[in-house]
Amino acid sequence: MTENMTAPITIPEHALLSASSASRWLACPPSARLEEQFPDTESDYAKEGTLAHQVAELKLRKYFLEPMGPRKFNNRIKKFKEDPLWQDEILKYTDVYLEYVQKAALRYKTSPYVAAEKRLNFSNYAPEGFGTGDCILIGDNTLHIIDFKYGKGVPVSAEENPQMKLYALGAYSEYSFLYNIKTIKMTIVQPRIDNISEYEMTIEKLLNWGEAIKPIAQKAYGGEGKYVQGEHCRFCRAKRLCRARAEFNTSLEEYNYMKPPLISNEEVGQILEKARHLAKWVKDLEEYALGACLNGEEIPGWKAVEGRSTRTFTNMDEAFEILKKNGIDEAMLYERKPITLTMVEKLLPKKKFEELLKNYIEKPPGKPTLASQEDKRPAITNKITAEEAFKNGGGIINE
């Protein structure tokens, strides 16, 4: 069974309490209303993501819902390629997503119900809340929500992910009349950084979570509750001028107890944690102040100036011709540089790349760098372990 075969490619819309912004409004409920006064501008990265989603949707529809000949499919792809943000690698990465969905569908005992880019209404839990689920599979008492993410910044985990849980609640509200759903599977496919994150929960657990967030969602809808700053501020349109964030980043009272002349390692940890937020906030403020100055507003003590620039040839070909005529050898004018491994990777399909070059690739250990405890990488140390000391034939570990 499949959804409506003639459904058009979806035009994205946004809800005040959207699934994609849930981690923010759940942590800081009044942010939903506060950010309403700021324009919702779409970055080039977001536009690129939208384009990749449209290609992913087309492929999913072609395979599961709306069989189409190569001519029609290629014409649609050709249209996408006219977009200035088009990159051929979109085809490769959307293939990874399609392959994942195909394999997931094959794991069902009988063909599952499939829906692509489905608008999911979870307003029973969050007022006027809705979002768009990239792919839904239903069968064998299991509802599987699959989300395609084109970003390559931070790997996104499906585990207890509020966006995925809200999609699942919306899908459950829509389909529980037709299907006996007992298990919820959630997957995030983020092919540009090889991240496929899967998570599973019972329907009871999901529904309990939905009940628990209802009062928070009500507060968010009403613009009530406590402003709470954190990592989620990164995605808030009010982040530059938000007073709660400013006060958090400028308050130093908690360090009043630092009576001894030297601060402890514990205090170093606390200050660095604070500095992490502070650095991001200062960058946001600088961007805001520059925009304000360019708009003719006054930010006392600051002004917009021309930044440093480097000289360039107005016509490099003609300039080089003049140099050659004046005795400079052409070989002196160009550098021959190998392209990077990442650029080579884009030239070939992933499997071919691995087949040809796997013996020529190494990943040396990176230079030690400081990271917060939340970082997934294991901690490293120069301190010799008991096991290493034993291996090296020594019994004493130097402190």
Residues binding ligand SF4 (CB under 6 A): 24, 28, 31, 34, 227-229, 232-233, 236, 238-239, 242, 244-245
For ligand SF4, the closer of residues 59 and 239 by Cβ is 239
- Considering the complex, what minimum distance in angstroms separates the CB of residue 245 from ligand SF4? 4
- Considering the complex, what minimum distance in angstroms separates the CB of residue 154 from ligand SF4? 17
Of 22, 12, 32, the residue nearest 163 (C-alpha): 22
For ligand SF4, the closer of residues 189 and 238 by Cβ is 238
Structure tokens at 195: 């991240």
- CA pair distance 24, 252, nearest whole angstrom: 25
- Considering the complex, what minimum distance in angstroms separates the CB of residue 130 from ligand SF4? 21
For ligand SF4, the closer of residues 167 and 248 by Cβ is 248
For ligand SF4, the closer of residues 206 and 233 by Cβ is 233
Strand partners, 196: 189
Q: How far is CA 210 from CA 52, 132, 169, 170, in A?
A: 30, 18, 7, 10
**Number of neighbouring beta carbons within 10 Å of residue 1:** 12
For ligand SF4, the closer of residues 28 and 114 by Cβ is 28
CB distance 210 to 129 below 8 Å: no
- CA pair distance 343, 147, nearest whole angstrom: 27
With 0-12 / 13-18 / 19 or more C-beta atoms within 10 angstroms meaning exposed / middle / buried, residue 318 is: exposed
Of 240, 231, 237, 60, the residue nearest 156 (C-alpha): 231
- Considering the complex, what minimum distance in angstroms separates the CB of residue 285 from ligand SF4? 12
- Considering the complex, what minimum distance in angstroms separates the CB of residue 228 from ligand SF4? 6
Element (H, E) at 104: helix 89-106
- Considering the complex, what minimum distance in angstroms separates the CB of residue 240 from ligand SF4? 8
For ligand SF4, the closer of residues 244 and 290 by Cβ is 244
